[in-house]
């Protein structure tokens, strides 16, 4: 990309410390290179991100059940998140400035999400590495389950976690999951 400077956020995505979402939740949607993306925010944090929900209503219902909150549509509330995601899809953003909410997680889940957030743009790590970084080196499968339930994929880059043999596996993105993982990695210059 000649003439385009890559925008960098913080070195790795930060994670919030709190328990559950307590304030009002807002959501928005946009079309991207991988299809329709849905985003929800609360209290300045990204609480949900999905590119697998079938419709806006399904996303709203699924997220409301997960968060225990009713969501209201607000393009203004999600503007910054959508802007950063669009930059990511164009290949001009290598790290996110928006903060993902990981409240309501166990300590192990929080450590796994933090480790995943530390994986640099354009690089991959194994599930075994993720478990080791989270302080539980024998818990690669459990770390994989945390990734499968990651509420804010892309921002917490679960797509950068691959099998120990170096292949694509275990991406919770619906029927086209591995293709999506491959596409996200390709945006970052990783060929699989």
Q: Which are the catalytic amino acids?
A: 158
Alpha helices by DSSP H, the chain: 56-67, 79-90, 107-117, 127-133, 140-148, 177-187
Using CA atoms, how far apart are residues 62 and 118, in angstroms rounded to an integer? 28
Roughly what angle, to the nearest 10 degrees, separates helices 107-117 and 140-148? Answer: 80
Within a 10 A sphere around the Cβ of 135, how many other Cβ atoms? 12
Partner residues linked to 48 by β-bridges: 40
Residues 6+ apart with CB under 8 A from 77: 26, 27, 28, 41
95-112 burial: b if 16+ Cβ within 10 Å, else e: bbebbbbbbbbeebbbbb
CA distance 70 to 58: 13
């Amino acid at each position: 990309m000649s003439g385009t400077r890559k925008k960098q956020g913080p070195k790795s995505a930060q994670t919030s410390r709190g328990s559950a979402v307590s304030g009002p939740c807002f959501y928005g949607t946009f079309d991207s290179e991988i299809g329709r993306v849905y985003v929800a925010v609360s209290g300045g944090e990204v609480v949900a991100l999905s590119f697998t929900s079938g419709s806006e209503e399904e996303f709203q219902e699924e997220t409301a059940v997960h968060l225990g909150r009713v969501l209201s549509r607000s393009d203004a509330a999600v503007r910054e998140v959508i802007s950063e995601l669009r930059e990511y899809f164009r290949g001009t953003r290598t790290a996110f400035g928006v903060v993902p909410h990981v409240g309501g997680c166990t300590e192990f889940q929080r450590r796994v999400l933090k480790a995943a957030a530390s994986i640099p743009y354009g690089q991959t790590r194994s599930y075994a590495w993720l478990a080791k970084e989270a302080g539980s080196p024998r818990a690669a499968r459990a770390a994989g389950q945390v990734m499968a339930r990651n509420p804010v994929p892309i921002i917490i880059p679960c797509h950068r976690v691959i099998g120990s043999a170096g292949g694509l596996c275990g991406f919770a993105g619906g029927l086209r999951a591995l293709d999506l993982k491959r596409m996200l990695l390709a945006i970052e210059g990783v060929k699989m």
